Amino acid sequence: MNTANESEKNASSPEVPQPKAKRAPGKKASAAMKPRAKKPVNKLKADRAHKKAEVIAMMKRAKGATLAEIMAATEWQAHTVRGFVSILGSKGGEKTESSKNAAGERTYKIAK
């Protein structure tokens, strides 16, 4: 049963929103859940530039460079090497030559 005081309180004062309670801190990650260490961004760019320069130097040799040699030196896959050679010829401003030897190996050269 409501008394007169309770009904007066409800009618006279509007509800004031209460502040939300703060969240409790979460559990800490276990050793197995820790993220892997990442390479610094600058090192990635330096590695990429070094590999590109290495491939260009290999292709400037008199005999050029085979697809397998480039893959071994850069740890790239075959389609990545072929894409790089294609871009080097079209956007890189280098004239590239591609040929197959008797064994069927693809050789890439930069023409002078």
Q: Reading across the β-sheet that carries 96-100, which strands appear in turn?
A: 65-66, 106-110, 96-100
Rounded to whole angstroms, the Cα distance separating 71 from 54 reads 11
pTM metric for this prediction: 0.57
Beta bridge partners of 107: 66, 99
Scored b (16 or more CB within 10 A) or e, 27-57 reads: eeeeeeeeeeeeeeeeeeeeeeeebeeebee
Per-residue pLDDT of 44-94, as tens digits, reads 777 777 899 999 999 999 999 999 999 999 999 999 999 999 999 888 888
| 2 three-class SS | coil
